[in-house]
Structure 1
Amino acid sequence: MLKRRSLLAAAAFTLYSAAMAQTYPAKPIRLIVPFAAGQGADAAARIVAQKLSENVGQPLVIDNRPGAGGIIGTEAVAKAAPDGYTLLVGSNGTHAANSALYARLPYKVQEDFVPIAYIGSVAMALISSPAYSGKTPQEVISAAKAQPGALSVALPSSTSRVVLEMLTKASGAAFNPVLYKASSTATTDVMGGHVPLAIDTVIAAAPQIASGKLRGIAVTSKQRTAILPQVPSFAESGLPAIDIAAWNAWFAPQGTPPAVVAKLNSELGKVLSDADVQGKLRALGYEPDGKMGPAQVREFVRSEERKWGDLIRAGGIKAE
């Protein structure tokens, strides 16, 4: 009898989920971005959300909830109703790094969210002032090895700190990390010659490189980026172990009907294959990719949580 009731309940839920997906969305969707307005994740989310809104016929309302490395906004989604009307723009911070950076989180990365779709990645870049003598990764590494711990690198984010840890492991060189709270102050100090090097997103670095105020030395993606085609990758510069990027994926609260998740994944796949959307994202510094299904996104997030966690623990990196 109990088994029969369980089967009936499962069948009822499946029918409910399918029926909901047919009419979904029937009202505006709230998209929580756990970062400040104007940041890369926010800018990309707005491009994707605008096209998705056009396609599904309902507004996507951007709700910026910055703070605590993305924890505040992420927690809000974990506690939201699992009805498909509250979604999260997650990242390598919220779903890969934070579980190692913080002693405790108010949510469980794997248990409290349903992955919807992978949106895209943003490479990081090693940059310098034009006056700095090192022009290639090899020259920078040689300088760091000549005076271990003396060569300073400005790091405006936990992602930057993880990239420096990866560079340290791959090269065997020792650097002097200088922590900053914002990209703007870090790049200002590099341009002013106060710090010779910095690691930041290509989104933050590209305008200053284009203006000649900064020099791009290498990017962390395996291939060169569309926004900085003149800057080589670490991989092509002889450091293939350096393959890491910031990324964004959309999530829903655990318990969201599978048919709704599948519909969102399909619709986001259409958005991310749109040539106009791709052009806007690449101009921003993103490499869009909407080909993963929800199960693939879950496996990707698991592997990224291991990768970022191992680097954070090896470097003794803690949240600031």
Structure 2
Amino acid sequence: MHTVAVLALDHVVAADLAIPVEAFGRARLADGSRPYRVLVCAPRQRVATETFAILAPHGLEALREAGTVIVPGCSERAGPPGVDVLDALRAAAAGGARIASICAGAFTLAAAGLLDGLAATTHWAATDRLAAMFPRVDVRPDVLYVDNGAILTSAGASAGLDLCLHLIRRDFGSAVAADSARLSVTPLEREGGQAQFVAHSPPPVPRGSLLEPVFAWIEDNLAGEVTLADLARVAGLSERTFSRRFREQTGTTPLQWLLRARVRRAQYLLENTDHGVERVAARCGFGSPTAFRERFKRVTGVTPRSYRASFRTPAAP
């Protein structure tokens, strides 16, 4: 099993702590087995949140055996992390652990020097402070999360869940991540580069009255040609109004959403079928195998062949 250590410091944000515990703890493989062992650890057994206290069952030594270390954010009442915490994080990183932060947890990683020279993010309200305190960090204020490979950071609130699902997808593929997303009652849609803060035009369009039918129509028509006019017609809006409303609701364009949906369908087919690249490309609506390979690698970082080799379901027909 892959061990995930979640670090709880005094004044930890309870939601930031619960998100990785639940996301990794609930993940399951196709055979129903649990791929992660989740350990909550702390410098001291008793840890205070803003409203209650918890008892952490593990100390900092748990970081040494972890393949992944998650650092939740702490409130502004928290003091600087102790030397023992910073040393433990540095040792974990030097030992090959993957280190990720949620929200203000980026300040702890930065204090340990783990973000020097790297791109990073945190909650949009704290990005200026992070940049001022740690000038060697390339702070990205307008993204949900940043993946540097071994070091990752995320913005606040639900972006922490986006990051955890991203890690699950990296480890075990899109099908396992999609199942984890369903268990968390959240869509597996948002990429790290999506904007943190999406403003809604007044009055906001209720979810379900505009985009839900469009998303469903896209999934049903991925193999064919899909135009902006088609999507606007499904939404019952002009193309210009639809494009504006779509960006307001999702933070991206209809075309980018469509391309991501096609890549997600391709991931599923590569994991669960023997279809060749040409057939996968055709079933997902890509104009040619070459266009499919280029788009797939741009989104996932690997070729379709490499992805299949890593995430192919053993019992795939």
TM-score of the superposed pair, with normalisation by structure 2: 0.24
Say which structure, 1 or 2, has more relative contact order (CA 8 Å, 6+ apart).
1
Higher strand share: 1
Q: So what's the TM-score if we normalise by structure 1?
A: 0.23
